[in-house]
Amino acid sequence: MVRAPCCEKMGLKKGPWTPEEDQILVSHIQRFGHENWRALPKQAGLLRCGKSCRLRWTNYLRPDIKRGNFSREEEDYIITLHQLLGNRWSAIAAKLPGRTDNEIKNVWHTHLKKRVKQGEKPMKLLPNSSMSDTDGSSSSCTEFSAIVNRDPAESLEFEKSLRSDALSFESRNISHVDAVSNGDEISFWLKIFMESGNIQELPEI
């Protein structure tokens, strides 16, 4: 298969984006969306390849992106997730609303790798309510945070179902990673939180 010519050979621009290009890309996406990245630059009048436009949008221009430094909590969260998921940056990013895989990858290589190498343990992990999914719905992580902070009597029923999930999860010998990819996230987080010592052993059913 013949590889498509690279952007430069096609006379397309590479390198840093100018504010004007950003403006064109944002207003085009706001008006028409981004169904076809390959066609988008031509339609928008940008001398960029589709891939470059997609990257610029997903890593920088998207309105739901959280700019600024990572909090200590976020860093610890990344370390913990990295221990479980490895270099699956997009999977890690999916658990950190407003953060991109590229950003997480960068912070890992510049800060966190060193911390882990030095044998530093992450602080106690307890994601707060601000950690909602990018679509605005609460993640199982948030849900879990709410549960563990509730009065145990109130949450007993819920805990029972969680426990049952976790047991079935264990009896089927499903790994954490498989659990996440299968959407069995409650069980996944249940185990993580129990292992991290943030919650007590759940009451026996």
182 binds DNA (CB under 7 A): no
Are the beta carbons of 127 and 77 closer than 8 angstroms?
yes
8 binds DNA (CB under 7 A): yes
* Other Cβ atoms closer than 10 A to 92: 22
> Residue 196: what residue type?
S
Which residues are paired to 138 by β-bridges?
132
Instruction: Please report how close the Cβ of residue 88 comes to DNA at its closest, in angstroms.
Output: 4
Quote the crossing angle between the two packed helices 185-196 and 152-171, to the nearest 10°. 110
Contacting DNA (CB under 7 A), which of 29, 102, 143, 191?
102
- Angle made by CA atoms 69, 97, 146, in degrees to the nearest 5: 110
105 binds DNA (CB under 7 A): yes
- Residues 109-168 contacting DNA, CB under 7 A: 109-111
82 binds DNA (CB under 7 A): no
Q: Which residues contact DNA by CB under 7 A?
A: 1, 4, 6-8, 13-17, 35-39, 50-52, 54-56, 58-60, 69, 87-91, 101-103, 105-107, 109-111
